[in-house]
Amino acid sequence: MCEHEGGIAAVGTEGAGLGRDDVECAARRLAGRVWRTPVVRCDRLDALAGTRLWLKAENLQRGGSFKTRGALLAVERLAAAGSRGVVAQSTGNHAIAVALAARAHGLPAVLVLPDDAVATKVDLIREAGAEIAFAGTLLAERTAMVEKIQDLRGYDVVDPYQNRDVVMGQGTATAELIGQVRAEGGRLDAVVVPIGGGSAIAGACLAAAGEDMAVVGAEPEAVASFTAALRAGRPVTVPAGYTIADGLRPDRTGSLPFDLAHGTVASVVRVSEVAIEGALRAALLHARLLIEPAAATALAAALDHAAGFGADVGVVLTGGNVEADLVTSLLSRPDVPS
C-alpha cells in the first residue's frame, strides 16, 4: 500500500506533496474493488457539442457514483488503524459510498444528510445498513452535527472534501478516463468535471498533471461557490440558491480541493438550471444513460462550450442517483431542450 499521512496542514499548503503518483497509487489500491466504468461515445451528443465527447460513465459505478472510489480508500485506512466507526456529512453520494465502505469493513457508520436529501440516495444508504441523521440544508449545519457525533461516539470523520484519500480516490476516475481514451488511440484536449465541494475537480487536476490537457469545472449558476472562491482567492460561503443538482449544493468549496485545483483549473462554466435539465434529458434519450443532475451539469457545460476546448473532450459523468419523479417530469416537459 502506498502511504500518505491523513493529517491536514495549514490552509494554502494542504495539498503539499500530493501529485499524480498518488492518484496512480490510489488506482492500484482500488483495482478489482470498483468497476472500471466504461467511456461512452455518442454520435448525437457529439453533433450537439460540435466536437468529440468521451463520457466517463461513473453513473454506472458501484453505489451509483464516483464517490465510491475515495470513500473505499479512506475507510480502509481508518479500519486498518483500528477505527470503532465512521461519521460523514454529504449531500448523498459520499454518504452512500461511506456506508458501503463501512459495511465492507464491518464498521458502524452514521451519515449526516441535509433535510432536502433526495429519496433515492437516502434509500441506498439505508440499504447499506447505515444510520442517518438529518441536519438543516447548509454545509455548516451538517459539519456541526458531524462534530457532535464524533465527540459522542468517538467515530472517525470521513470528510468528503478535506480528506486526501478521498481526493486521490476521486482522481482515479479522471485518470482512468485519460488511459481509456489513450487505449482507443485518442488524446483529450480537455476534461469537464462538476464542482460541488471540490473533490472531483481537485482529483481531476492531480490526474491531469503533465497531460497538456485543460481541466474545466462546471457548477450551477445558483451555487457558484468555486467561482466565488477563485475571485476571493480562498474558499468563501456563498448564498445557496436552489439547484436541482443536489450533489452540487455545498455552499463552500473545501480548502484542500481549492488548494489543489485553483492554480490548475483552466475555466469554470456556470450552468443554468434549464441547461442542466436539458443535458440530463439528452444523456437519457441520446446516450441512453441515466445520470443525476450533478453529472448533467458537466455535460451541459460540454454541450455548450466543448467545441472551444478542442477536438476531444472528456466529461466525467459523476453519478446516476436520480429520482424517478425528476426523470418523469423532465421527459414530460416539451419545453426542456435536448
Whether 93 and 247 have beta carbons less than 8 Å apart is answered as yes
Shortest Cβ 293–its own copies spacing (Å): 14
The CB-of-120 to its own copies minimum distance in angstroms stands at 8
| Alpha carbon separation from 250 to 93, 131, 220, 223, 224 (Å, rounded) | 13, 21, 11, 8, 10
Pick the piece of the chain touching its own copies (CB under 8 A) from 52-60, 161-169, 217-225, 303-311. Answer: 52-60
Per rule CB under 8 A, is residue 64 in the interface with its own copies?
yes
Figure out which of the listed residues 73, 229, 238, 284 binds its own copies, where binding follows CB under 8 A: 284
CA dihedral over 12, 15, 17, 19, signed as positive or negative: negative
Q: Does 287 bind its own copies (CB under 8 A)?
A: yes
Do 274 and 306 form a contact (C-beta atoms < 8 A)? no
DSSP state of 270: E
Q: Per CB under 8 A, does 291 bind its own copies?
A: yes
**How large is the angle between the packed helices 20-30 and 199-208, nearest 10 degrees?**
110
Q: What minimum distance in Å lies between the beta carbon of 69 and its own copies?
A: 15
Nearer to its own copies, 146 or 302 (CB): 302
DSSP annotation string for 1-65: ---------STTSTTTT--HHHHHHHHHHHTTTS--PPEE--HHHHHHHTSEEEEEEGGGSGGGB
* Residue 277 grid cell: 435539465
Q: Does 324 bind its own copies (CB under 8 A)?
A: yes
Instruction: Indicate the residue among 182 and 231 with the shorter CB distance to its own copies.
Output: 182
CA atoms within 13 A of residue 163's CA, in its CB half-sphere: 24
Site for its own copies in 151-170 (CB under 8 A): none
Which three-class secondary structure state does DSSP give residue 323? coil
Binding mask 30-49 for its own copies (x = CB under 8 A): -----x-xx-xxxx------
In angstroms, the CA 192 to CA 199 distance is 14
Among 160, 203, 254, 320, the residue binding its own copies under the rule CB under 8 A is 320
Choose the stretch contacting its own copies; rule: CB under 8 A; options: 14-22, 54-62, 142-150, 265-273.
54-62
Nearer to its own copies, 68 or 89 (CB): 68
Of the pair 13, 328, the CB lying nearest its own copies is at 328
Under the rule (CB under 8 A), what is the footprint of its own copies? 35, 37-38, 40-43, 57, 59-60, 62, 64, 284-285, 287-291, 320, 324-325, 327-328, 331-332
